[in-house]
Structure 1
Amino acid sequence: MVRVGPPVGPSRPGFWRSPLRGPWLTSVLGAVLLVGITVMFVTGLLSYAAYNPDLGGNDKTPDRGWLGFYLFAWPTDPYWLYRLNQGVHVTLGIVLIPVLLAKLWSVIPRLFSWPPVKSVGQVLERLSLLLLVGGVLFEFATGVLNIQLAYVFPGSFYPLHFYGAWVFIGAFVFHVAFRIPLMIRMLRSGGLREELRRPTGRGAAVEADESGLVTPNPAAPTISRRGALGMVGAGSLVLLAVTAGQSIGGFLRATALLAPRGQDPGPGPNGFQVNKTAVGVGIRARDVGPAWRLSVRGGGRERIFTRAQLLALPQHRAALPIACVEGWSTEDQDWSGVRLADLAALVGFTDRAPGVFVQSAQLRGSFRSTTLRDNQVRDPRSLLALRVNGADLSPDHGYPARIIVPANPGVHNTKWVTRLTFGENA
């Protein structure tokens, strides 16, 4: 039942008394988010495409239907493409958190506007706000928890984040279509330079309040808008400083304090980041010991190899990084092993190597298998790697053999490989 009479509590005019709130401040924060969220959405779509989810064995998002209209064969050039894309996606998401929180703070009176129902148009706008605020909080929360290795939501991260992104972006576009004329007017009417020069004690410029954000009973100012925006910007810069190093690498990796895998794991040829450890996914000594064999199948043929026999085949080298969906990446590592195209030729695919279905010895956890496209198999840098930086792979890096493919998401560079099936399941 809708209450009759004047509103009370947070719906009462004058309840929200900050003199900073108003369409100008909200418009500035909104303009930053408009650009930032657009970039995040595009890089998120590209990240999903990089997993080649239309191939059997790769899809973690069932029944995506027409939402997968844009998917394409993920390229292997440039080899750092996924590293750059995912680094931008994750780092930008972290950096925008202070801006997002400030924007939500600036518009909180609208969430309690009274009466709750005035017209059909207002109902649609409030519904879009509900989806917008709920969607953005869900996307940022799932993303942050995933990269911090503390994912607690039910179900797989991939479908929840994917579908959540489409729900949010629909509400986002609807909201922008309604609000961008006001945002443009506010940014044009209140000069950024003049507003940022205004000291704390001065009243803000009079704003034609079409937004319902300006309080009729402002409290005494304790900070200027310049100071408020400065705090938001400083927060974003701090988060940039303690996050970006995990993607950039080099000496900046030591500054990635918020990255769970941002620090170097130790010296030596295998001293670079690890996603899943051998113990963590249930690899047993007998699975990767002297009895280990690699089965290579395709075209009705099968060849079985020991590790010594693989080392006796022509060896090739490739300098490639590992880049993870969590945003961290390594510098280029010097991998050596047998080309995937050469292994395809050994089972009869001498003219044009097809895709390959890769299976691992790991007993638990996700991505125990993956499918690579034919363009990935044919790239001369795509290897069944046996060594890295001049040394045998360590158990955590996939000994006896692992996949390494340029521009490939880290979890699809399968470790502890036991079987390669060319053509049939790819």
Structure 2
Amino acid sequence: MARFPSPFSFPSSPAFWRSPVRGARFTSVLGLVLLAGMTVLFVTGLLSYAAYNPDLHRVNDQTPGKGLLGFFLFAWPTDPHWLYRLTQGVHVTLGLALVPVLLAKLWSVVPRLFALPPVRSLAHALERVSLLLLVGGALFEFVTGILNVQLDYAFPGSFYPLHLYGAWVFFAAFLAHVALKAPTAVRNVRAMRAGREEQREDDVLAAPRPDPPTVSRRGALWLVGGGSAVLFGTSAGRSFDGPLRATAVLSPHGGPEPGEGPNGFQINKTAAYVGIDPRETRPEAWRLVVTGRSGTVRLSLAELRRLPLHSAALPIACVEGWSTSDQWWRGVRLRDLAALVGYDASDDPPDVLVDSLQRSGPFRRAALRANQVGDARSLLALDVNGEPLSADHGRPARVIVPAAPGVLNTKWVARLEFGEL
């Protein structure tokens, strides 16, 4: 007969924890998986932040006062054109797939979190603080990341600085924990691979009076891995082409395309949602204002179409992890527009500040670096897949830049200001 904890036992009591799966070896396997996975998440997260060009202080910098935390920033490249689609797709898909591993790891060590007395010495106090930062940081990063993927901003403040600062706090505690625990974890995993699953007498994570086993430690690990596989299969299609796009049921942008025809591919926010007045985007009313070294030029849609038009096959990839396949865009090169206001953008391209007609939400203004302006595939797009842009895809004109995050591919463009930012 299975035994149950006494109704008077609490999580701080060893008698509360009865699963025979518990133990240092089970925890060590999960820890090594998280060691690899969390490192990839941290690196791809920093790459995503760099892709937002936060050193362009006038607009894109979402984390003022970051100081030394900005050491990794660099001019985000435009090649390969699918770069951000890959890095952010890996970041979000891997983060979702690691959720069962993280929960299992927390379950396996939870007795240590409730151990009494809470502090036995100064060294123990420091260990407890680092553990608090580790667990709290992991939960904070995963919860805010998943909410951002679901476009649910229930947390206060901007996602970008919260997630960046939280990542640094978590990863510092994570590295300290790895330095202390990695050698033991490797020894425990080697013992499991050798077939030795017996409980060691000094295993502080094992239940002191375990219930009869219903599954082996290996079986429990397979269960956790199966949960990760399910989350991968129901989310990965949002980031990569192929049959998994139809199974991405956990993604707000998964499954079939939202419409038909040349403009029938994914969007993040509609024109109505961000407050676009259709009267402002009519060809007879809309004008593009271009400013730069030699002054200001105002162009109607008809005048833009009389300029040399070029095409490029580029995807849209967003910070939430979803992306489209390559779409064929056609419009005026950004560097040709820069030339209209006094810049030889082929040799020395300027930065550009892009203003949108949108009235709500972040990135109503966005900045692009000079290397992005100078790329021949960077366009002020007027058409997509052979037809004019729809209202939700940015009619009458939107920016499209290779390898840039979707939020920097500004829709409903009203003004381009070229110069050093």
* Structures share fold, TM-score greater than 0.5: yes
Out of 214, 226, 235, which is 1:234 matched to?
226
Out of 156, 164, 167, which is 1:165 matched to?
167
Q: CA deviation at 1:8?
A: 6.0
Query: 1:284 is matched with which residue?
Result: 277
Q: Any idea what the Cα deviations from partners look like across 1:37-75, whole Å, max 9, x if unmatched?
A: 000000000000000001020011121111001100000
Structure-1 separation of matches of 2:96 and 2:212? 32
Alignment of 1:26-425 (within 5 A): 26-55=27-56, 56-191=58-193, 194=195, 204-210=197-203, 212-263=204-255, 264-289=257-282, 290-350=284-344, 351-424=347-420
Q: CA deviation at 1:208?
A: 4.7
Structure-1 separation of matches of 2:242 and 2:119? 56
Q: Which amino acid aligns with 2:38?
A: I
Q: Which amino acid aligns with 1:174?
A: A
Query: 1:18 is matched with which residue?
Result: 19
Structure-1 separation of matches of 2:242 and 2:275? 32
Comparing 294-303 and 390-399, the one that deviates more: 294-303
Structure-2 separation of matches of 1:208 and 1:308? 81
Q: Which amino acid aligns with 1:301?
A: G
TM-score normalized with structure 2 length: 0.95
Contact 2:23 2:199 in 1 (8 A): no
Same amino acid, percent of matched pairs: 64
Structure-2 separation of matches of 1:209 and 1:74? 50
TM-score normalized with structure 1 length: 0.94
SS at match of 1:47: helix
Divergent runs of 4+, >3 A: none
Q: Any idea what the Cα deviations from partners look like across 1:86-135, whole Å, max 9, x if unmatched?
A: 00000000000000000001001100112211111111111111111111
Q: Any idea what the Cα deviations from partners look like across 1:195-223, whole Å, max 9, x if unmatched?
A: 6xxxxxxxx4132535x212221111122
SS at match of 1:422: strand
SS at match of 1:215: coil
Comparing 144-153 and 390-399, the one that deviates more: 144-153
Contact 1:22 1:209 in 2 (8 A): no
Q: CA deviation at 1:324?
A: 0.4
Q: Which amino acid aligns with 1:58?
A: N
SS at match of 1:10: coil
Contact 1:23 1:209 in 2 (8 A): no
Structure-2 separation of matches of 1:403 and 1:355? 14
Q: Which amino acid aligns with 1:228?
A: A
Q: CA deviation at 1:250?
A: 3.6
Contact 1:336 1:385 in 2 (8 A): yes
Q: CA deviation at 1:226?
A: 2.0
Aligned residues: 409
Question: Any gaps of 5 or more consecutive residues in structure 1?
Answer: 1-6, 196-203
Q: Which amino acid aligns with 1:296?
A: V
Structure-2 separation of matches of 1:249 and 1:150? 25
Structure-1 separation of matches of 2:67 and 2:417? 27
Structure-1 separation of matches of 2:339 and 2:213? 74
Contact 1:297 1:303 in 2 (8 A): yes
